[in-house]
Structure 1
Amino acid sequence: MQENISSKELILKKIRKALLEKRDNPYPNLEDTALYKNNEEILEIQFAEQLSAVSGNFIFCENGMDFIENILELAEKYNWRKIYCWEPELQALLSNYEFPFYKTDKDFEMAEVGITLCEALIARNGSVMVSNHGAAGRRLSIYPHHHLVIARTGQLVPDLKEAFALIKKKYSNQLPSMISTITGPSRTADIEKTLVLGAHGPKELFVFLVDDFS
């Protein structure tokens, strides 16, 4: 008399048999396969397009003077008054052109703009890689309504792999305790599935790519 086997037992039997059998890897060269297709587009253009797609703003500057002219235009357009910058390098640049800003966290609860440096710009998805290593820490990239990121052309890389390579080269084994990426302004669609910018952080993101700070 044939023994009755339930469907559950039959499935488990097949699973056990499959686990015991030696199986060839269907994708033996997976790790050597590129995750993305090659993109021949200039990195600056690729980054600008991807950043714009996530509601960010890209501004290319030839030098420090060009950067100051652009930030003056924005300050006038948005009527900025409470502008904070804690990075010594950027403070020196702004002070050289007598651009008004706050060097300390005085009245920080009223901050409108935070100006920071970054670790890298990632062209493939328009993201900004930041860490807590700089003088700005985390607050200037999170609290003010407008976040201004200043980067050099040498910090523009194709993807995350290259961005982490920059981090590793810069810090060696003393990596920052916080490394993160920012992709456009803060957003949420939790409320009635309506997209809202600035929900948990800055509602505007401006990325300045400066070719020469002199």
Structure 2
Amino acid sequence: MDFLKKLFNIPIKEDKQIQNQEVNLSLDDLFVHNFVNKGGKFLYCTSEADVKTNFANILSENNWNAVQLLNPKLKSIVNHKEVTIATNTNSDLPAFTTCEHLIADNGDVLFSSNQLKSTKLKDYTNNFIVYATTSQLVKDTGQGLTGIKTKYANNLPTNISSIKNYNTQNVDDNFLNYGNNNSKNLYLLLFEDL
């Protein structure tokens, strides 16, 4: 290909400049891009019917007939005739919960004790289904923590952590994370609320 560029006198520098240009994405596009690149499974929902249908499809695809319901507000999404709901922590069942924020710049999902109680994220099952809304998108972890501080000013939650990797087979070589593997197989039901 360089031969043709030389033959027709096409400068090669322009192609390299085009490839090195920074692309500015919106918060939702940036989050989805980073989330999917890390192995997360993303389902966009525009109605409550979409949320229920996509949730049922996730369970069907994985042959799951029971879930750990970590947030009782999500009970309306679960079809009680087809799915058994467990309210206690069971490492074999997929966990169904909400989150605090979706971090756009790195595709992480941020949780607190409001979702996880006092159980560490690593002690939960490897399979997570998370319900979130587009209004929970923030640019970075700093904005996510500020959002938590603002929302819960009088009663700050504890156990703030995030899922950073969506491939449970991945090994984290970072010595700062030793013994704290937060890799989960994660499905995200993202509901458009803006």
Report the TM-score, using the length of structure 1 for normalisation. 0.66
**Equivalent residue letter for 1:101:** T
Q: Distance in 2 between matches of 1:140 and 1:93?
A: 25
Q: Secondary structure at the match of 1:52?
A: helix
User: Could you tell me which residue of structure 2 aligns to residue 51 of structure 1?
Assistant: 35
Q: Distance in 1 between matches of 2:81 and 2:25?
A: 38
**Equivalent residue letter for 2:35:** L
Alignment of 1:1-214 (within 5 A): 40-94=24-78, 100-105=83-88, 108-111=90-93, 113-134=94-115, 136-137=116-117, 139=119, 142=122, 143-185=124-166, 186=168, 187-188=170-171, 200=181, 203-212=184-193
Segments of 5+ residues of structure 2 without an aligned counterpart are 1-21, 174-179
Q: Deviations over 1:122-163 (max 9, x none)?
A: 1110011100123x4255954223111111111011112221
**Equivalent residue letter for 2:147:** L
Give the length in aligned residue pairs: 163
**Structure 1 segments (4+ residues) deviating >3 Å:** 138-142, 199-203
Q: Distance in 1 between matches of 2:187 and 2:95?
A: 10
Over the residues paired in the alignment, what is the CA RMSD in angstroms?
2.6
Contact 1:85 1:102 in 2 (8 A): yes
Deviation at 1:200, TM superposition (A): 4.5
Q: Distance in 1 between matches of 2:172 and 2:121?
A: 21
Sequence identity of aligned pairs in percent?
Answer: 28
Deviation at 1:94, TM superposition (A): 2.3
Q: Distance in 2 between matches of 1:121 and 1:40?
A: 18
